[in-house]
Amino acid sequence: MSTVVALHAHPDDEALWCGGALAMLAAAGHRVVIAVATDGHQGDGADPEAGVRLAELDASAAALGAARVVYLGYADSGHGPLFFPDPADRQRFARADLDEAAGRLADLLREEKASVLLSYDARGGYGHRDHVRVHEVGARAADLAGGVRVLEATLPRETVQRLVRVGRLGAVFRPSAPPGQAAAAEPAPPMFTPRREIAYRVDVRRYTRQKRASLAAHASQLAGPRAPARLRRYATRLPVPLFALLGGREYFNDPSATPAASFLDVFTDAV
Ligand SMILES: [Zn+2]
């Protein structure tokens, strides 16, 4: 069995980007470790007390069957047009030194003898600055640790663009402006990954209950008037079969020269 480390920017990203895949890997007997760069204290929902979002992440990880959660110690960079100053005790992830941040993750990869690292696509999905940093730090950490294969969670660009157009979901995939200010401009497309370039399309419908429970564990992110919080509230109230329709497939890029025959083969080949 392999050990897989999943690097995420904020508590709740593990549910949204690859919760089904993490539950699937844990159920298959692999050791799943979730590394989170920030405490998510600039989130989409009601901004809770310090520590609340990390506690929610622990509950989410338990729902997915993850063995361990590690907080890398950075502050959430936020996703509005403003770049908040660093808090007194730590740096915001997006402006952390690349080698220093990658060094923290590489230490974890070595300690866990991880063979696979789950990261994000080069755009950081829709372009949140902390998500872009996950891509950069993940790639560098895998180089530093050596012998670690990287897979990048993503979505098919065409599907997201259609959802944004038809479902009027622009607010979900657009950096939010601070309260009282005009909405930020659209991020420069393109987002995510063109469908033809995606290596693995993973059917996670069998793990719908775990994925929905993982999302629901982030109670603070279900509260508040912003569009992402409203959408999450809606998603966690859907019946399981409907949730499976929307969240039953997850997608990964494989930057290695020799992709595996299937997503699960990556983890068995890696041993
Ligand atoms: Zn995030």
Q: How many Å lie between the centroid of ligand 1 and the Cα of residue 66? A: 19
> What is residue 186's predicted lDDT score, i.e. its pLDDT?
52
Instruction: List the chain pLDDT tens, one digit each, 271 residues.
Output: 999 999 999 999 999 999 999 999 999 999 999 999 999 987 656 667 778 999 999 999 999 999 999 999 999 998 776 778 888 888 999 999 999 999 999 999 999 999 999 999 999 998 889 999 999 999 999 999 999 999 999 999 998 888 877 766 666 676 544 445 555 555 555 789 999 999 999 999 999 999 999 999 999 999 888 888 888 898 999 998 888 888 999 999 999 989 999 999 999 876 5
Taking alpha carbons only, the member of 220, 25, 247 closest to residue 117 is 25
Q: How many Å lie between the centroid of ligand 1 and the Cα of residue 13? A: 5
Q: How many Å lie between the centroid of ligand 1 and the Cα of residue 148? A: 23
Q: How many Å lie between the centroid of ligand 1 and the Cα of residue 52? A: 16
> What is residue 179's predicted lDDT score, i.e. its pLDDT?
45
Taking alpha carbons only, the member of 112, 123, 106, 141 closest to residue 17 is 123
CATH number of 109's domain = 3.40.50.10320
Q: How many Å lie between the centroid of ligand 1 and the Cα of residue 9? A: 5
Please state, in angstroms and rounded to a whole number, the distance separating the CA atoms of residues 137 and 26. Answer: 24
> What is residue 207's predicted lDDT score, i.e. its pLDDT?
97
CA distances, 95 to each of 86, 104, 130, 260 (Å) = 9, 15, 9, 34
Q: What is the CA radius of gyration of the chain?
A: 17
Q: How many Å lie between the centroid of ligand 1 and the Cα of residue 70? A: 16
Longest dimension (CA), the chain: 52
Taking alpha carbons only, the member of 6, 1, 10, 25 closest to residue 207 is 25
Which amino acid appears at position 127 of this protein? Answer: G
Q: CB burial class (10 A; 0-12, 13-18, 19+) of residue 100?
A: exposed
Q: How many Å lie between the centroid of ligand 1 and the Cα of residue 138? A: 15
Q: How many Å lie between the centroid of ligand 1 and the Cα of residue 125? A: 10
Q: CB burial class (10 A; 0-12, 13-18, 19+) of residue 194?
A: exposed
Of the chain, the end-to-end C-alpha distance in Å amounts to: 6
Q: How many Å lie between the centroid of ligand 1 and the Cα of residue 63? A: 19
Q: How many Å lie between the centroid of ligand 1 and the Cα of residue 135? A: 12
Q: How many Å lie between the centroid of ligand 1 and the Cα of residue 131? A: 6
The residue segments making up the domain with residue 47 are 3-269
SS3 162: helix
Q: How many Å lie between the centroid of ligand 1 and the Cα of residue 76? A: 9
ω into 190 cis (within 30 of 0)? yes
Residue where the block lists tokens 């539950």: 23
Task: Name the helix (H) or strand (E) containing 228.
Answer: helix 227-237
Q: How many Å lie between the centroid of ligand 1 and the Cα of residue 197? A: 23
> What is residue 176's predicted lDDT score, i.e. its pLDDT?
47
Q: How many Å lie between the centroid of ligand 1 and the Cα of residue 47? A: 14
Q: How many Å lie between the centroid of ligand 1 and the Cα of residue 36? A: 10
Q: How many Å lie between the centroid of ligand 1 and the Cα of residue 37? A: 10
Q: How many Å lie between the centroid of ligand 1 and the Cα of residue 165? A: 22
Task: Tell me how many domains the chain contains.
Answer: 1
